[in-house]
Copies of this chain bind each other. A is one copy, B any other.
Amino acid sequence: MTLSEENYLKAIFNLEEQTHKGVPTNAIAEMMETKASSATDMVKRLSEKDLLKYKPYQGTRLTPKGKSHAVKVIRKHRLWETFLVENLDFTWDEVHEVAEQLEHIQSDKLIHQLDKFLGYPKTDPHGDPIPDEEGNIAKIEKKVLAELQQEDEGVCVGVDDSSSAFLKYLDKLDISLGNKIKVIEKEAFDNSMVIQVEENTISISSLASKNIYVRKTS
């Protein structure tokens, strides 16, 4: 399994997770930042290795074999991200590109021991679940921030509205993926909230809190 093949597999896995439909060639090409012709070539190759099923013009779906391999790569990626943040003082926005490299290291013992070293973490620094050795991925019930009650805590795991305006607004409030969020106060009148994001205490509108996903941690 080459590096490139693994990256395609991972991309296709993620796309299939989102739509639960056959993944169009164009979508793969876009995710891989390459051309559709290259994606076609790769899909053919992966198909010959029984890692996915593919019919021209009908999109592709991973076979169990392909899925299992993709999940292994994701497991490695998330364990490495955890190591980088927990032990090497990386911040959430720095880990990705290094983990993209580390996820391709081949050694079962390495990843088993790393998992042990980290204390068998359930989620990575972004709140995403870390698949176990058998490839099982825990479903994390992400909720919209608006649903949390006073005193509840969670980790920011994503946004619903991903418009530039909204993301810029979040940047300004210093809310980003992986941030710990605690509900200090909930205003019944207009559903606005006072929340604590890492160190800062801020107030956000109902509209905003409906567009932020969190994984509850307490």
Contacts and interface: CB of A to CB of B under 8 A. Distances in A.
Interface of A: 84, 87-90, 94, 97-98, 101-102, 105-107, 109-110, 113-114, 116-117
Given A94-B109, A105-B102, A107-B98, A117 B87 contact: yes
Main SS of the interface on chain A? helix
Contacts of A113: 88-90
A195 B117 CA distance: 34
A101 B113 CA distance: 17
Contacts of A84: 110
A98 B107 CA distance: 7
A84 B109 CA distance: 10
A156 B110 CA distance: 25
Contacts of A90: 109, 113
16 contacts: A84-B110, A87-B117, A88-B113, A88-B114, A88-B116, A89-B113, A90-B109, A90-B113, A94-B109, A97-B107, A98-B107, A98-B109, A98-B110, A101-B105, A102-B102, A102-B105
A107 B99 CA distance: 10
A49 B30 CA distance: 33
